[in-house]
């Protein structure tokens, strides 16, 4: 077993929280929760290449036929589980100050990348899963799912005149997270609160200076997202 799972939540406490499981009569949601938890654990223990539908069925106690009927393919199973896990790890700050919001978001990323369970999942998906098209798609979905939830903090900052009009919110969010993922996955350096503070401060300074402002950028908040439909985060 991966040592990261030594601190895994006890049975009955979900790795991927889903509020639907708490509703009376939510049996379907509870089955889904068991399956998603099983997928996350299998990914951490066996990696992307070693995860099988048979393994997920055995760990979750859900019949393999049911898994195929509900999700269709192994890849669909993995994508939904990773998306749900990504969303469960997100806390969207709204302090009224963009500098503090970016700092809190950097620390949310720090928590994800240093927690034994979530960091093991990130390593499984980003560090040791290879470069096949399904893996690249999975990484893309993980990143987009989280980014889409946090982008509004930049939009609010523009509305409050804390950032220049035309600031590209996606680029701001990317630049907060990129140095932390780089430290973890490329440099293999320990992640610290100071590293999170630095990533947020550098990004905030650049954003205030207009580095992320794009002349002629059309406000898109009231329009459909430019992200392709198949890459949109799924409903919870």
Q: What is the pLDDT of residue 229?
A: 53
Q: Which of 65-69, 111-115, 172-176, 219-223 has the lowest mean pLDDT?
A: 219-223
pTM for the full model? Answer: 0.73
Same domain, 34 and 141: no
CATH number of the domain within which 137 lies: 1.10.357.10
Tokens matching residue 115: 């927690």
Q: What is the pLDDT of residues 1-46, one digit of tens each?
A: 444 444 333 333 355 544 433 444 477 888 999 999 999 899 888 8
The range of the structural domain enclosing residue 14 comes to 3-80
Same domain, 190 and 118: yes
The mean of the pLDDT values for the chain is: 81
Percent of the chain with pLDDT over 70: 78
Q: How many CB atoms lie within 10 A of CB 149?
A: 16
Residue 226 has pLDDT above 70, yes or no: no
Same domain, 120 and 190: yes
In a domain, 42, yes or no: yes
CATH number of the domain within which 73 lies: 1.10.10.60
Q: What is the pLDDT of residue 175?
A: 97
Same domain, 101 and 217: yes
Distances (CA, A) of 57 to 41, 51, 66, 78, 133: 12, 11, 9, 13, 25
Choose the most confident range, by mean pLDDT, from 9-13, 68-72, 98-102, 123-127. 98-102
Q: What is the pLDDT of residue 19?
A: 42
Tokens matching residue 155: 């939009």
Same domain, 179 and 103: yes
In angstroms, rounded to a whole number, what is the distance separating the alpha carbons of residues 194 and 200?
Answer: 10
Confidence class for position 60, pLDDT limits 50, 70, 90: very high
Least Cα distance to 85 among 128, 116, 40, 115 occurs for 40
Please identify, among 31, 47, 80, the residue that sits at the C-terminal boundary of a domain.
80
Same domain, 140 and 33: no
Same domain, 100 and 138: yes
Only one residue has tokens 């969303």, namely 87
- Counted domains in the chain: 2
Confidence class for position 136, pLDDT limits 50, 70, 90: confident
Q: What is the pLDDT of residue 8?
A: 38
Same domain, 205 and 126: yes
Higher per-residue confidence, 147 vs 131 = 147
In a domain, 223, yes or no: yes
Same domain, 111 and 63: no
Q: Are 82 and 125 in contact (CB under 8 A)?
A: yes
Same domain, 10 and 29: yes
Residue 140 has pLDDT above 60, yes or no: yes
Residue 100 has pLDDT above 90, yes or no: yes
Residue 121 has pLDDT above 70, yes or no: yes
167 has which bridge partners?
Answer: 213
Q: What is the pLDDT of residues 150-178, one digit of tens each?
A: 999 999 999 999 999 999 999 999 999 99
In a domain, 236, yes or no: no
């Amino acid at each position: 077993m991966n040592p990261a799972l030594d601190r895994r939540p006890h049975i009955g406490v979900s790795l991927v929280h889903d509020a639907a499981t708490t509703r009376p009569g939510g049996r379907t949601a509870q089955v889904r929760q068991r399956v998603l938890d099983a997928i996350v654990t299998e990914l951490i223990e066996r990696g992307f290449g070693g995860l099988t539908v048979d393994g997920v069925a055995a760990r979750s106690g859900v019949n393999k036929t049911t898994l195929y009927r509900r999700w269709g393919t192994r890849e669909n199973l993995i994508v939904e589980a990773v998306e749900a896990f990504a969303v469960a790890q997100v806390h969207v700050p709204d302090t009224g100050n963009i500098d503090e919001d970016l700092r809190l978001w950097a620390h949310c990323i720090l928590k994800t990348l240093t927690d034994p369970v979530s960091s093991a999942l990130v390593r499984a998906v980003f560090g040791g899963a290879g470069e096949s098209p399904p893996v690249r798609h999975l990484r893309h979905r993980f990143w987009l799912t989280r980014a889409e939830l946090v982008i509004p903090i930049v939009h609010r900052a523009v509305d409050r005149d804390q950032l220049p009009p035309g600031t590209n919110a996606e680029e701001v969010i990317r630049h907060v997270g990129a140095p932390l993922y780089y430290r973890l996955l490329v440099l293999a350096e320990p992640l610290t609160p100071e590293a999170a503070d630095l990533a947020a401060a550098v990004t905030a300074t650049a954003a205030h200076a207009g580095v992320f402002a794009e002349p002629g950028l059309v406000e898109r908040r009231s329009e459909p997202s430019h992200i392709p439909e198949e890459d949109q985060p799924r409903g919870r």
